Amino acid sequence: MSIADNLQKINSTVPNHVTLVAVSKTKPVSVIQEAYDVGQRVFGENKIQEMVEKYDQLPNDIKWHMIGHLQRNKVKYMAHFVDLIHGVDSFKTLKEINKQALKHNRLINCLLQVKIATEDTKFGMSLDELSSILDSEELKTLENVSINGLMGMASFTEDKKQIKKEFNFLKKTFNQLKNEYPELTTISMGMSGDYKIAIEEGSTMIRVGSAIFGLRNYI
Ligand SMILES: *Cc1c(COP(=O)(O)O)cnc(C)c1O
């Protein structure tokens, strides 16, 4: 199947309130252009340098999402164009994003990454850590970042019940926080292997790579 076919197939099953982020990490610009040509506008990358190179070569109405773990010293390279940063997992990082956004007189949208997987290798914060960021007085001084929601990655497992449980936990956490912070609107959860479960559990944004572009040689 072609990229166009894959996109059409996925889009036909994804409800309108769910945004499809096409995860193009490791894929060349020619392949991204193919998806762009059939209407895809939101792309996700997990390495800042790679995203910057692609941004420079591709149409400027693409919305670039940073989905990977952030290296604070590299935030400056994407601050002039990044549309949404999914994986914010510390206040320090948020401060750096704010500082760089200010230099470009921009507001950068961010999601806070929540640890929902049982694996130690996955990044993310606990509910206490999330609340301490959202409640902090200092957050109000960061006028160039906007926290729009939460992001999570489920365990790498075939156990669908386990995945469902983890997504459900993220949705519950989101609902709980939304009572206090109505500005939270986005729940980024679901990848190629589990986006259907994620949507059932309340995802509003799915990050899909291999189901669109085929398998990658490396992560
Ligand atoms: C690579 C990646 C994805 C996409 O993974 P696929 O299984 O190829 O859909 C989604 N989210 C994050 C954070 C990723 O790093």
User: Is the CB of 27 within 6 Å of ligand 1?
Assistant: no
User: Is the CB of 117 within 6 Å of ligand 1?
Assistant: no
User: Is the CB of 124 within 6 Å of ligand 1?
Assistant: no
3-class DSSP assignment, residue 66: strand
pLDDT at 87: 93
pLDDT at 120: 72
Mean of the per-residue pLDDT values of the chain? 95
Q: Whose CA is nearest to atom 11 of ligand 1?
A: 207
Over residues 146-184, the pLDDT tens digits come to 999 999 999 999 999 999 999 999 999 999 999 999 999
pLDDT at 1: 82
Rounded distance between C-alpha atoms, residue 48 and residue 148, angstroms: 21
pLDDT at position 37 over 90 = yes
Q: How remote is the CA of residue 141 from the centroid of ligand 1, in Å?
A: 33
Q: How remote is the CA of residue 153 from the centroid of ligand 1, in Å?
A: 9
Contacts of 135 (CB under 8 A, 6+ apart): none
Least confident of 28-42, 64-78, 95-109, 119-133: 119-133
3-class DSSP assignment, residue 177: helix
Q: Whose CA is nearest to atom 6 of ligand 1?
A: 209
Provide mean pLDDT across the span 192-197.
97
CATH topology assigned to domain 3-211: TIM Barrel (3.20.20)
This prediction has a pTM of: 0.96
Q: How many CA atoms lie within 13 Å of 150's alpha carbon, on the beta-carbon side?
A: 31
User: Is the CB of 192 within 6 Å of ligand 1?
Assistant: yes
pLDDT at 121: 66
Domain residue extents for the chain? 3-211
Least confident of 95-99, 114-118, 185-189: 114-118
- Best residue among 67, 114, 122 to mutate for probing ligand 1's pocket (most ligand atoms within 8 Å of CB) is 67
